[in-house]
Amino acid sequence: ETGVTQTPRHLVMGMTNKKSLKCEQHLGHNAMYWYKQSAKKPLELMFVYSLEERVENNSVPSRFSPECPNSSHLFLHLHTLQPEDSALYLCASSQAGGNEQFFGPGTRLTVL
């Protein structure tokens, strides 16, 4: 598998569930990102990791918890979500300081 992969591609969960989204990049990058794409709203940056350190947390509620165990993997742990958290969650990677971000296909999350 090349590029940026995300699993699962679709996820339906109840408000009391705990789940995790996974992102993996095979590009040798050292920065990774989580974005949220909701209907009728711009792509919103959630978290940035550079060299495995979180360098940006864009006022995201604590029910979203990121984890970056190494430069190739990024997780988004979800717990007690709300229906308004239903969205497409995109992962991206780049070289730290680099110009181009490479995106994964996204995980379509539905919170019931």
Binding site for another protein (CB under 8 A): 4, 31, 33, 40-45, 48, 50, 55-56, 90, 94, 96-106
Q: Residue 34 or residue 81: which is nearer to another protein going by CB?
A: 34
Q: Specify whether the CB–CB gap between 19 and 87 falls below 8 A.
A: no
Least gap, CB of 4 to another protein (angstroms): 8
Alpha carbon distance, N-terminus to C-terminus of the chain: 32
Least gap, CB of 21 to another protein (angstroms): 15
Q: Residue 15 or residue 51: which is nearer to another protein going by CB?
A: 51
Least gap, CB of 112 to another protein (angstroms): 26
Of the CA atoms within 13 Å of residue 79, those in its CB half-sphere come to 5
Q: Is the dihedral of CA 6, 99, 38, 76 positive or negative?
A: positive
What is the C-alpha to C-alpha distance for residues 4 and 55, in angstroms, rounded to an integer? 20
